[in-house]
Structure 1
């Protein structure tokens, strides 16, 4: 072994042949199963609405999402390599934000709207808003976190956005309880 490695190891009080332990990551909590089921149902409904001839009507919701929504590993590798977003990935962004808005509507009773866009270079944004109040704003840089290639990651991201928006909405409702949420006069 190199003598300088032994000196450095003795200075750090670690054996030279052992590398320092990496910090352990905390496991991410599982998304709320009820909200996850609602998100899968909403996403499935949106995909069914665009299936004009019912070609995929016999598929289960998970199979339909895998076939019509999720990006392939090739799309992900291509977008990771040169930061461009394919047409499939560019269709994925607004669909997911529409599904998230639908789940938020079910949970809060207000009309939630979505606006999402991504350009060919992978830059864009996703907004969820109600009236004049922006509840969730996500920036997309080089397409990240899109494209989604697994249903679990899609659901985890969607449920996290739903919970973030509902928490902000609840906080905002408390602060503006005198005037109401949508009738602020500026």
Structure 2
């Protein structure tokens, strides 16, 4: 029994080393973003922020400044959210805006109406859902608010563009599968 135990220990050690190497590589290397999609996402997010700016306080700001002032959470808010697992009202405000902006970009690029539903409770658990008709295009679970709150514009844009690309890829795949009967004609 002893040789078998030593083999299992050595195998689990090798697997842990390989897993750590993969994890390190995946964090440092990011796929380059499509600049058109990133610009469309920033534009949509700024439109949504402008609709809430009733008195035009931020009307003269650049898109980057609008996102920084109206949307991003401060470092203190992020540390407070991580400490007690309770999310602030600012974070609860970020979640639906991101998914609405993603839905708008997907509509522009695909020509299909895309709806968004996003919810997050006070403890940071929730989901973001993008769908068209009866087809779910993107479903993201939020655990303890992760990846929210965003503290940098680059992270917001990367998250939004990744959601757009995921949803469009699934929509394209689903259209190919249902080309004979149409996208929304399946009976369930």
Q: Name the residue aligned to 1:113.
A: 115
1:9-31 deviations in Å (ceiling 9; x for gaps)? xxxxxxxxxxx9x7352511121
Aligned counterparts, 1:97-176, within 5 A:
97-176=99-178
Which entry has the higher C-alpha Rg, 1 or 2?
1
Give TM-score, length-normalised by structure 1: 0.86
Structure 1 moving runs of 4+ over 6 Å:
none
Contact 1:30/1:156 (8 A) holds in 2: no
1:25 partnered with 2:29: no
1:88-126 deviations in Å (ceiling 9; x for gaps)? 000000000000000000110000000000000000000
Deviates further, 143-152 or 25-34? 25-34
Query: Aligned partners of 2:167, 2:100: CA distance in 1, in Å?
Result: 13
Gaps of 5+ in 2: 1-16
Q: Name the residue aligned to 2:91.
A: 89
Give TM-score, length-normalised by structure 2: 0.86
Gaps of 5+ in 1: 1-19
Query: Aligned partners of 1:176, 1:46: CA distance in 2, in Å?
Result: 33
Q: SS at 1:25's partner residue?
A: helix
Q: SS at 1:139's partner residue?
A: strand
Query: Aligned partners of 2:115, 2:145: CA distance in 1, in Å?
Result: 22
- RMSD (Å), alpha carbons: 1.4
Q: SS at 2:25's partner residue?
A: coil
Which one of 44, 64, 68 corresponds to residue 66 of structure 2? 64
State how many pairs are aligned.
Answer: 167
Q: SS at 2:48's partner residue?
A: helix
Q: Name the residue aligned to 2:180.
A: 178
Deviates further, 173-182 or 106-115? 173-182
